[in-house]
Amino acid sequence: MSLPSLEQTKAKILVVDDQPENLHLLSDALNSEGYDVKGVVSGEMALVVATSAIPDLILLDIVMPGLNGYEVCARLRANAITQNIPIIFLSANNDAVNRIKALNAGGADYIDKPFQIDEVLLRIKNQLKLQAAQREILQFNHELERRIQERTAQLESANQELQREIIERRQVTRLLQESEEKLESILNSLEEVVWSADVATSNLLFLNPAAQKVYGRSVAELLNNPDLRLESIHPEDRDRVELSLASSLNHSNDLEYRIVQPSGEIRWVWERSRLIYDEQGIVKRRDGIICDITERKQIEEELSYEAKHDSLTNLPNRAKFLERIEQALTRSFKDQHYLFAVLFIDLDRFKIVNDSLGHLVGDKLLIKVAQILTSCCRNNDFVARLGGDEFTILLNEIQTVEDGIQIADRIQKQLESPFYLEGHTVFTSASIGIVIGNHQYQDSSAILRDADIAMYNAKSHGKARHEVFDQEMYDETRELLEIENDLRKAVLQNEFVLHYQPIVSLETNTLYGFEALLRWNHPTKGLIYPDKFIHVAEETGLIIAIGEWVLKEACHQLSAWQSQYSGAVELKISVNIASQQIKDRNFLATLDRILTNTGLSANALHIEITESTLMDYNPETISLFNQIRDRGIKFNIDDFGTGYSSLQYLNRFPISILKIDRSFIQGMLDEKENFEIVKTIITLARILKIDVIAEGVENLKQFRVLQTFNCKLGQGYLFSKPMDHQSAALLID
- Is there a single domain that holds both residue 321 and residue 429? yes
- Is there a single domain that holds both residue 302 and residue 314? no
- Encode 332-379 in three state secondary structure: HHHCCCCCEEEEEEEEECHHHHHHHHCHHHHHHHHHHHHHHHHHHCCC
pLDDT above 70 (res 186): no
Question: Alpha carbon 223 to chain centroid distance?
Answer: 53
- Is there a single domain that holds both residue 148 and residue 124? yes
Question: Going by DSSP bridges, is the β-strand pair 204-207/252-260 parallel, antiparallel, or unpaired?
Answer: unpaired
Report the interhelical angle of 69-78 vs 96-104 (nearest 10°). Answer: 20
Q: Is 501 or 250 the better-scoring residue by pLDDT?
A: 501
Residue 523 burial (CB count, 10 A): 10
Q: What is the pLDDT of residue 226?
A: 78
Residue 317 burial (CB count, 10 A): 19
How far, in Å, CA of 413 to CA of 406, rounded?
A: 11
Please report, rounded to a whole number, the percentage of residues in the chain having pLDDT higher than 90: 36
Domain boundary among 440, 469, 498: 469
- Is there a single domain that holds both residue 511 and residue 641? yes
Q: What is the pLDDT of residue 251?
A: 64
- Encode 388-408 in three state secondary structure: CCEEEEEECCCCCHHHHHHHH
Q: What is the pLDDT of residue 91?
A: 84
Q: Is 163 or 235 the better-scoring residue by pLDDT?
A: 235
How far, in Å, CA of 731 to CA of 723, rounded?
A: 11
C-alpha dihedral, 617 to 621 to 626 to 631, nearest 10°:
-150
- Residue 229: which domain range? 190-307
- Is there a single domain that holds both residue 295 and residue 313? no
pTM: 0.52
Which helix (H) or strand (E) is 322 found in, with range?
helix 318-334
β partners of residue 572: 513
How far, in Å, CA of 668 to CA of 678, rounded?
A: 7
- Is there a single domain that holds both residue 129 and residue 199? no
CATH number at residue 161: 3.40.50.2300
How far, in Å, CA of 90 to CA of 120, rounded?
A: 10
- Is there a single domain that holds both residue 599 and residue 584? yes
CATH number at residue 622: 3.20.20.450
Domain boundary among 434, 469, 504: 469
Distances from the Cα of 591 to the Cα of 273, 514, 611, 723, angstroms? 79, 19, 21, 25
Spatial contact of 69 and 40, defined as CB atoms under 8 Å apart: no
Spatial contact of 357 and 350, defined as CB atoms under 8 Å apart: no
- 268 Cβ partners below 8 Å, 6+ apart? 256, 257, 258, 259, 292, 293, 294, 296, 297
231: in domain: yes
Identify the three-state secondary structure at position 201. coil
- Is there a single domain that holds both residue 150 and residue 296? no
Average pLDDT rounded to a whole number, residues 368-372: 93
Domain boundary among 307, 322, 342: 307
Domain count, the chain: 4
Spatial contact of 131 and 56, defined as CB atoms under 8 Å apart: yes
Q: Say which range, 107-111, 156-160, 503-507, has the weakest mean pLDDT.
A: 156-160
Dihedral sign from CA coordinates of 319, 321, 324, 325:
negative
Note the pLDDT tens digit of each residue in 410-424.
Answer: 999 999 999 999 888
How far, in Å, CA of 323 to CA of 319, rounded?
A: 6
How far, in Å, CA of 567 to CA of 81, rounded?
A: 95
How far, in Å, CA of 55 to CA of 46, rounded?
A: 11
Note the pLDDT tens digit of each residue in 633-650.
Answer: 999 988 776 655 556 667
- 16 Cβ partners below 8 Å, 6+ apart? 39, 40, 41, 42, 43, 45, 46, 58, 59, 60, 61, 64, 69, 72
- Is there a single domain that holds both residue 117 and residue 168? yes
pLDDT above 50 (res 4): no
- Encode 73-131 in three state secondary structure: HHHHHHCCCCCCCCEEEEECCCCHHHHHHHHHCCCCEEEECCCCHHHHHHHHHHHHHHH
474: in domain: no
Residues in the chain: 733
pLDDT above 70 (res 162): no
429: in domain: yes
Question: Going by DSSP bridges, is the β-strand pair 526-528/511-522 parallel, antiparallel, or unpaired?
Answer: antiparallel
